[in-house]
Each structure stands twice: as C-alpha cells, then as structure tokens.
Amino acid sequence: MNTQVHTLRMLLLFPLLLLFVQVGAQTQYQFQVTKANGKQMAATPGGGIYYALPKTIFKIRVVMEQVNEIPGPFAAYATKYLGTTNYMKTKKVYYRLLSVKVVPVTVADPTALFYVRFPENRSSKEISSFGLRLNDAGILTNFGPTEQPDLKNKQPALSAASQNSSQMYLFSDHRKGFDMQAGYTQAQKVDTIVRKITIDTVTIKRFLYKTGWVNLTEEERANDAAKQIKNIRTSRFNLLTGYQEVNYGEGIRYMDVELQKLEHEYMVLFLGREYRQMVVRSFVFDPEKQTLSGKLLQFTDKDGNTHLLNVKAQIVNPMTQVAGKKTTGPDNLFYRIPVKAVISVGNGSIPFYSDTFEVPQLGVVTTAPVRKNTRLSISPKTGALMGIDKK
C-alpha cells in the first residue's frame, strides 16, 4: 500500500516538476527590455544594448520676397511737374510669401530609447542564433533569429541632404540709388557789366561779361529733370513717326528701348525706386503631443498689416482605443503604432501650405511578445510592427 501511495504521489508531482524545469530553462534564456532613464544600467553577465524608436521632424523652408520702396529725391515736386499723386512718399519695406516647402526627416526619438538586457547564458545554441538589427541611426529594424542581409537587392536610402535641390533667384532691380541724380548741381551764370566812357561829347559803352557758377536749388533741379523727360518723349515721338525720314531697320527698336530706359531713370527721381530680393528662411518643427503648433516668423505686408506665420500639426487618425505601455515584461519588445497628421503652414484660417505626413511620435507605444524562433520586423521610418515571421 505504501508503495502504491508513493507511486501515485510521484505521478502527481512529475508534471509540476516538469513545468518548473521548463520555466527555469525559459527564465535562463529570457531577455528584458526597459526604458532608458539616463542612469547607468546594472551590469549583467549577458550584457545588453540600447535601441531607439524613430520620430519625424520637419524641415521647413520659407521663401519670401522682400520689397524695398525708396522715395525719389524730387518726390515733393512730382505733382507740380508731372501732375501725378501716385508716387512713393515714404521709405517702406514689406514682404510677400512666395513658397513653403516641408521635408520630413526621420531621426531617433530620445524620449523612446530602450535597453535590452540579454540572457546570461549566451553560449547556448538558441541565444547564439538570436540577434538584433539596427540602422545607422540606432533605430531597431529586426529582432529575433538572425538572417543574412541581402546586400545585392538593398538600395541605399536617400538622405535629407540629397533630396534638397539648390535654387537660384534673380533680383528684379538690384540698384538702390538714382543714377540721374548724379548730375550737375550748379548752373553757369553770366553777368554783363556795362562800362561808359565819355570823351568830350562822345559816350562809348564797353560791355564786359563776367562768368560764374551758382548752386541750383532742389526745385530747379527737379524742373530740369522734368524738361529732360519732355525732351525724351519728343525724341521718341519723332523717332517712331519717321521724322528723320530714314529707315534705321532694327536700329529703331534699339533706340526706342534705350530712350525708354533713359526716361525711366528720370521718372524714378520723382516716383521713387523699388527693388526686390528673395529671403530664404529655414526652420525645424518637432511636433509632440504637448506642442502641436509653433511660431515661425513675423512679417509685414504692403498695407502695413503684420502677419504671424505658424506651423501646426493636426492628427488625422488618433489611436484613442489603444492603451499605451510604459513597462514591459520578459521577452516583450516595445514598438510603436504611428498616426498620420496634417502639417499646415499659414498666417490665418486658410493655410498657405498643407500636406499629410506620418508622425510616429504622436502615436502609441505598446509591446509585442517575442517567442522562440520568431522574428519581428520593425519599420525604421515609423517604428511600427511590420510582421512576425516564424523561422
């Protein structure tokens, strides 16, 4: 009887003993993933490495046109001599928004950095065939049994710098001064001196001419410039109506163009000069759940109104039904469920630029189990779980 009881006890305890052995063996080969906190991780015989999940930042390039208006030196006499009130009265600088370009750049997320602690027994066959694969930014791409990379079919990824193209901008008018202002500021003045000489009853008048130079007033100079405009227009009229009665052929076109340029240079003395140049500003926008918008720059338009250029991210598909995880158990790996967001740049209710991008850091971080002979594929662009393969 005692022998039967002992045998029955052994049969009952054998499954439990076998379960404990299996759990102990699994515990011996388990790895642990913890979130990095800036402190030194405890040293273990198996060691470990860090890996990161990706995030997307946006390089924003804003191209604006800067317009400079400079009043002419004879602006006060524009109405008197030209009969116009449409001229630049004060110096003004304003801007016009031309284009906005947004380029996404994938980087390692410093707030999603994790430490993988390897099992202590690294000499076993299972552990020796187990590995991780990171890209050059330290972002996890594969976790599980190792595979030889296919270098023949692997295409090099284009960096953000290689996707940018250089652009050249032409200025509409680079001259900031007034060429025709650099003229004579003095006029020749001739004084006539009459000297009378009387000999007996005969009176003789001798005329002497004294030449000198006097400074012209600003109004006199404006009057001379207005006369030059009139003379140029008369010359153009005579040229185009065949006053010379000579067929100059293509020379007529050339002379007419040159006369128009000369007239323009005299006109800007009254109306003012405008020159334009391109201003290129670059910014980096790093959207987070707490900061979905940011200020880029402030500029003034032609009417003197001040505008504030903002950038904003609006989540398209919020993962509100997915519970995120901050901690993980043994043999579990952190990955990310990314979301898409509309990135818009503008200075009002209607954006100047708008497009949809993947913004992984606005998504949810959760965990996935890693079992024996399984390999997880992680997207290096979004941190999403791409697949679980059985080896």
pLDDT mean by block of 10 residues, the chain; 391 residues: 55 49 46 79 70 92 91 91 90 91 92 82 51 79 64 40 38 54 57 73 73 77 90 91 78 90 91 88 90 90 90 88 79 87 88 92 87 82 84 66
Are 111 and 157 found together in one domain?
A: yes
Cβ contact 157:70 at 8 Å: no
275-299 pLDDT tens trace: 888 889 999 999 998 889 999 999 9
Boundaries of domain holding 1: 1-25
Q: Which residues of 331-367 are buried (b: 16+ CB within 10 A; e: fewer)?
A: bbbbbbbbbbbebbbbbeeebebeeebbbbbbbbbbb
Are 366 and 304 found together in one domain?
A: yes
* Residue 217 maps to a domain: yes
The residues that bridge with 50 in the sheet, in sequence order, are 115
Are 47 and 125 found together in one domain?
A: yes
pLDDT of res. 156: 40
Cβ contact 82:226 at 8 Å: yes
Are 283 and 159 found together in one domain?
A: yes
* Residue 76 maps to a domain: no
DSSP assigned state of 330: T
- The Cβ of residue 265 has, within 10 Å, a number of other Cβ atoms equal to 19
pLDDT of res. 341: 93
Whether the full predicted model's pTM is greater than 0.75, yes or no, is no
Are 60 and 96 found together in one domain?
A: yes
* Residue 67 maps to a domain: yes
* Residue 78 maps to a domain: no
25-37 pLDDT tens trace: 444 447 788 888 7
Are 152 and 55 found together in one domain?
A: yes
pLDDT of res. 25: 42
Are 187 and 252 found together in one domain?
A: yes
**Alpha-carbon distance 353 to 359, whole Å?**
17
* Residue 79 maps to a domain: no
pLDDT of res. 161: 36
The residue out of 218, 248, 271 marking a domain boundary is 271
User: Going by C-beta distance under 8 Å and a sequence separation of 6 or more, which residues neighbour residue 294?
Assistant: 285, 310, 311, 312
pLDDT of res. 201: 75
pLDDT of res. 44: 64
The residue out of 234, 252, 271 marking a domain boundary is 271
**Structural domains counted in the chain:** 3
What letter represents residue 355's amino acid? D
Are 130 and 161 found together in one domain?
A: yes
Are 125 and 219 found together in one domain?
A: no
- The Cβ of residue 145 has, within 10 Å, a number of other Cβ atoms equal to 16
